[in-house]
A and B are shown apart, each in its own frame.
Chain A
Amino acid sequence: GIQVEQSPPDLILQEGANSTLRCNFSDSVNNLQWFHQNPWGQLINLFYIPSGTKQNGRLSATTVATERYSLLYISSSQTTDSGVYFCAVAVRNFGNEKLTFGTGTRLTIIP
């Protein structure tokens, strides 16, 4: 099956810093999503981005499908950004798509 690798596994930053999280995947995908799992365990959809670039406030994401990677940028970090960030992908399989998750990047923002 498809492999999904995220880096770095852990990231500790001061409030106000910027960060880049990376997701590499091993096959062509028709779905790529970024999630934030907050300290209460909720999985929050950040981006649906199988290709291209999107921005939402301080967050933006870019997926280069031909090179099989995606980047999540967080600017001017706030303590509420802390948590685990997951990348998840799905390969087109004619009705049998399933999201395969990476192992996540744990982000800690220090005040």
Chain B
Amino acid sequence: DTAVSQTPKYLVTQMGNDKSIKCEQNLGHDTMYWYKQDSKKFLKIMFSYNNKELIINETVPNRFSPKSPDKAHLNLHINSLELGDSAVYFCASSQDLRRVRYEQYFGPGTRLTVT
């Protein structure tokens, strides 16, 4: 069984379009994250949600809007896509941050290409 899954795996779209990426985890975790990996392979956190509540919001353009309908799902909607948004987006999850173990588990990634 897949622990953290993302759809779609690949997304090719034109500048100015709006797109969404979906993430689901079946680990029973309370916290979910979005990370972005740029063309130089650098990984950086964008958002985290704990039990549907936004916890971390790094300096991400407000064209990016995460939504967590329940604690097993975290979606990422991107408006008015720009060339610089091309990257691989990873979803991750971990247990409640107040517990001792904080290991994060990552999904397979969504490669977004904006043309």
Binding site for B on A (CB under 8 A): 30-31, 33, 35, 37, 41-43, 45, 48, 84, 86, 88, 90, 95-101, 103-104
Contact = CB atoms under 8 A, between A and B. Distances in A.
B43 A86 contact: yes
Interface string B74-89: 0000000000000010
Query: What is the interface residue range for chain B against chain A?
Result: 20 to 34
Which applies to chain A's interface (DSSP): helix, strand, loop or mixed?
A: strand
Contacts, number: 53
B109 A95 contact: no
B50 A90 contact: no
A98 B48 CA distance: 8
Interface string B38-76: 000111110010100001101000000000000000000
